[in-house]
Amino acid sequence: MPKGNRTISHLVSSAGPGYVYTEKLQLKKYDPRVRKHVLFVEGKP
């Protein structure tokens, strides 16, 4: 049984070659505290 409450996302290429990303989720979103777009990574709060 996996420990913790993290889930690893499996991102499958829609082009069909079967390439899969199994890394943690990363999103580029707007951060109002610094007033610019920054990279958000999965982590503990």
Domain tally, the chain: 1
- Cα 42 to Cα 24: distance, rounded to the nearest angstrom: 6
Q: Whole-prediction pTM value? A: 0.45
Is-contact 14 20, C-beta < 8 A? no
b/e map of 17-38 (b: 16 or more CB within 10 Å)?
eeeeeeeeeeeeeeeeeeeeee
Percent of the chain with pLDDT over 70: 67
What six digits make up the tokens of 23? 């890394």
Residue type, 7: T
For residue 20, give its domain range.
1-45
**Mean pLDDT on 19-35:** 81
CA 23 and chain centroid, separation: 7
pLDDT of residue 13: 73
